[in-house]
Structure 1
Amino acid sequence: MSLKKSIVLVLIILVVDQISKIYVKTHFTYNETLEVFSWFKFVFIENSGAAWGTKISDFLPISEETGKLILTVFRLFAVVGIGYWLYDTVRKNLSNTLAIAVSLIFAGALGNIIDSVFYGMIFSESVYGGELATAFSGNPYGSVFHGKVVDMLHFPFIENAVWPEWVPYFGGNTFSFFEPVFNIADMAISTGVGILLVFNKKAFSKTEEEENVEVLEA
């Protein structure tokens, strides 16, 4: 896979991700829900932490703002590292499977870092049942590095089901599947990681050049 094709793939994912986030941010109030199907809904929430809303301040004796800053800086270093991984993969002409997977992961990571770095100083606060957020309103909800990641995709395949009484501990309790709300960037990251796990041997197969070197060294 050429570098040009990798860049095009990354840009397509970034554009779709950012358009969807900006639209939802400026057209939905916080926690507003739009049901498309019984198993698919748009639910606007914002995530100021890591996966599943986890915050560093939940584990360390630091303020939420400091934890957010640390997380954003970590994400920046991670994006740089993934970007170099993609460049090195293409430069060494490794498998297309690996190049596609890393491109997806890079695009997803970059999409979410844009929210974390810039959204706080671009958009006004989204309020439940309140006014819609606006861009460049002069009243931003945060500052650089303190933005929140916009999520909106929800697939509640099972809602308010009840565990059978014979199930230990959970018996009689209700449960739903799938509860997390995510975005296009998250989907890209998950798909990329899934490709690496499912097609591991194909993704990390040795190039013809590497095989020839091993034969010569033997």
Structure 2
Amino acid sequence: MKGYTKPALAVFLVLLADQLLKFWIKLNMSLGQEYKIAGNWFIIHFTENNGMAFGMEFGGDAGKLFLTLFRIAAVCGIGYGVVYLVKKKYHRGLVLNVALIFAGALGNIIDSTFYGLLFSESNFFQPAKLFPPGGGYAGLFHGKVVDMFYFPILQGIFPQWVPVWGGQDFEFFRPVFNIADAAISVGVILILIFQKHYFKEEKKEEVFLNNEVIEE
């Protein structure tokens, strides 16, 4: 089990935090309700989406089913990647970042796969109920992903001289996201930033092996 402890712990902690917060949001907040944590800059805003990360949509029931099944296949591939990286003794930072991506993808899959069965429909008047008597709001694989983090740090209007968007409202950061989305983003960004460091040792090993083959 050597090498698996930290990635497994990272996955467990991300999933635990992600699901605990989502359960609390579903059971205590009505759809669209919000709490201002830091003025207008950091808001807990309850919303749901049928699609991809950061509230992006993927149309219709068929599209929703396809996306959920695709996510399951993708997370299986990412999980295998984590195991492969540990076995091949890749850089620990790389392993942890891929584990974060795995945890984030798995966190949103739980919503998409099971939330429709577990909860009643969230609406603008009252929170959802867990295990409602009449059954959940959707079938297996058709649940909605719960989002809550909203950071409208900058708001204003594009100047008229700006092509396409001139005169329109702008907002940064507009998408509402969750812990799972954040874990995926952090994992990807850190891999991009430190990729030379992560893969430096593997390149050295390849050079060493190639030199050994030439000498033989």
TM-score of the superposition, structure 1-length normalised?
0.90
Q: Which residue does the alignment assign to 2:122? A: 126
Select the residue among 162, 166, 170 that pairs with 1:171. 166
Q: Which residue does the alignment assign to 1:136? A: 131
Higher mean Cα deviation, 167-176 or 85-94?
Answer: 167-176
Q: CA RMSD in A?
A: 1.6
Q: Which residue does the alignment assign to 1:74? A: 70
Structure 2 counterparts to residues 75-114 of structure 1, below 5 A: 75-114=71-110
Question: How many angstroms apart in 2 are the aligned matches of 1:65 and 1:41?
Answer: 30
What SS does the aligned partner of 2:201 have?
Answer: coil
Structure 2, gaps ≥5 residues long = none
Q: Deviations over 1:137-174 (max 9, x none)?
A: 12311111111110000111012x12233333433332
Identity value in percent = 44
What is the CA-CA distance between 1:40 and the residue it aligns to?
A: 0.1
Q: Which residue does the alignment assign to 2:31? A: 30
1:18 alignment partner AA:
Q
Q: Which residue does the alignment assign to 1:60? A: none
Contact (CA 8 Å) 2:154, 2:172: kept in 1 or not? yes
Pairs aligned (count): 210
What is the CA-CA distance between 1:101 and the residue it aligns to?
A: 1.0
TM-score of the superposition, structure 2-length normalised?
0.91
What is the CA-CA distance between 1:132 and the residue it aligns to?
A: 1.2
What is the CA-CA distance between 1:35 and the residue it aligns to?
A: 0.7
Structure 1, gaps ≥5 residues long = 58-63
Question: How many angstroms apart in 2 are the aligned matches of 1:104 and 1:112?
Answer: 13
Question: How many angstroms apart in 1 are the aligned matches of 2:34 and 2:138?
Answer: 24
What is the CA-CA distance between 1:54 and the residue it aligns to?
A: 3.8
Contact (CA 8 Å) 1:55, 1:67: kept in 2 or not? no
Q: Which residue does the alignment assign to 1:61? A: none
Structure 2 counterparts to residues 141-160 of structure 1, below 5 A: 141-159=137-155
Question: How many angstroms apart in 2 are the aligned matches of 1:169 and 1:111?
Answer: 37
